[in-house]
Structure 1
């Protein structure tokens, strides 16, 4: 049995540390998201979709905060889905689906989610697809349910200051890499490729993402997302959380 199969927690921790090098306030956005979920469910265990959820980061935090929550993780990355499956076991559902294809909804195990949450993922999709996706997400929410997208969303009124914030973040990240305090994106994937269980998943991933996994990032300001949510039919839309050049927008069905 490989180390991965016996220690999914190790891979979750290493993924968290690698991601935190890019987003030091990562846990703050998750906390803001889950406060939003608590506000609409009022103590009842939520039915939650972790959209483009990777290793199940949000789903696992939801389970810790809301015992009895019904969680689904949807992603397309074979490596991250394998880690999510090993971590969740029988506590949630893992779905392999491509958000670039509008039929992704047909793979969901339930309808009427209380919340759909996603973080640092949709910036890989083009503008027209994100706008369409917002409408599709609305359709899988119950009345009064929420959709929260936390991502790189600069404040449009602070262009020069935002660039300074990004430069400072890059400097801090390089210091963390040089000191060994954090693992870089490339090093994390090299570790995954060396793992007995994950190695074939890495090969599979290269077939899913032949162009190194992603297209060009597209990161419009938060107001673009708010307007797109309103155009998609959400009754309310606005900024739930902000941290530097990142923000979380929320749409209420």
Structure 2
């Protein structure tokens, strides 16, 4: 999970709210699926990352924390919620738009016997996820802009679906549809959590000021060389002999490199989740303008 910055502040910051699993425009089931170009675990690009995957994961984490200093706190809150609703030590978890495997790695540390499926579309991040996870999780290429994406999944239902800083890449109409698809993928009593930029529309003035202060602190960290920016991280990945070709493929999938300026308030998400048929929906966690909403089937 993407954990990342947001287009509402600037295009450069929004790039980190990565486009995992989402292509520009809308696609129907009959259109060519960019997910068909996904890498297998045996692909040379994946095996070529075996020795460096841990270092890339570490650099990804540090880059993401430059935008979200409370990143681990929100991830822990998500997994706490999973722990509260599952009644097995081997839950079926879906890491939606999972990127390099941030959520999956932490979920497996919390639930070593979990059966995790990670889906994403970004070929570079998928390669890092596959190299990092090996056979501990099912890692799949899938495009959430397409309504047929659930057909790629290995399970008919899941105990929990988790996602972070990714779904703002979908337009409102498609995200509303996706929420319904996710409800159908959850067992009765199953949990969905989405962490993203979700302003508190009850506190707009305070939220704006907190966002401005966070932006100032981030700029100071960059100026001091204390954090790697999103563009710097991707420049390094593009120069890597193994990741470079995958980064170029990524640019073909995401030619604009950033999401629309669409980060609706938490109330919009709660309304959409309720309309999708979830029996309960509310705010699980909040940090400044970011929040995690949770919903139960």
TM-score bracket relative to the smaller structure: over 0.9
Output the CA distance in 2 between the equivalents of 1:169 and 1:108: 38
Instruction: State the Cα distance separating 1:43 from its structure 2 match.
Output: 4.9
Secondary structure, in 3 states, of the residue corresponding to 1:6?
coil
Correspondence list, 1:64-213, <5 A: 64-212=109-257
Alignment length (residue pairs): 252
What is residue 275 of structure 2 aligned with on the other side? Answer: 231
What is residue 221 of structure 1 aligned with on the other side? Answer: 265
The answer (yes or no) to whether the contact 2:65–2:71 under 8 Å persists in 1 is yes
What is residue 293 of structure 2 aligned with on the other side? Answer: 249
Q: Aligned pair in 2 of structure 1 residues 34, 193: CA closer, same or farther (>3 Å)?
A: same
After superposition, the C-alpha distances for 1:62-114 in whole angstroms (9 at most, x for unaligned) are 00011111111111101110100000001001110111101110011112110
Instruction: State the Cα distance separating 1:190 from its structure 2 match.
Output: 0.3
Output the CA distance in 1 between the equivalents of 2:188 and 2:202: 34
Q: Does 1:63 align with 2:108?
A: yes
What is residue 40 of structure 2 aligned with on the other side? Answer: none
What is residue 30 of structure 1 aligned with on the other side? Answer: 75
Output the CA distance in 2 between the equivalents of 1:160 and 1:226: 21
Secondary structure, in 3 states, of the residue corresponding to 2:65?
helix
Identify unmatched segments of 5+ residues in structure 1.
Answer: none
After superposition, the C-alpha distances for 1:24-83 in whole angstroms (9 at most, x for unaligned) are 111111111101110111452211010011001001000001111111111110111010
Output the CA distance in 2 between the equivalents of 1:88 and 1:68: 13
Identify unmatched segments of 5+ residues in structure 2.
Answer: 1-43
More helix by share: 1
Secondary structure, in 3 states, of the residue corresponding to 1:18?
helix
Q: Does 1:6 align with 2:6?
A: no
Correspondence list, 1:47-62, <5 A: 47-62=92-107
Instruction: State the Cα distance separating 1:217 from its structure 2 match.
Output: 3.0
The answer (yes or no) to whether the contact 1:49–1:73 under 8 Å persists in 2 is yes
RMSD: 1.3
Runs of 4+ in 1 over 6 A off after TM superposition: none
Output the CA distance in 1 between the equivalents of 2:143 and 2:172: 16
The answer (yes or no) to whether the contact 2:119–2:139 under 8 Å persists in 1 is yes
After superposition, the C-alpha distances for 1:210-240 in whole angstroms (9 at most, x for unaligned) are 222x331311111110110000001111111
Output the CA distance in 2 between the equivalents of 1:197 and 1:139: 38
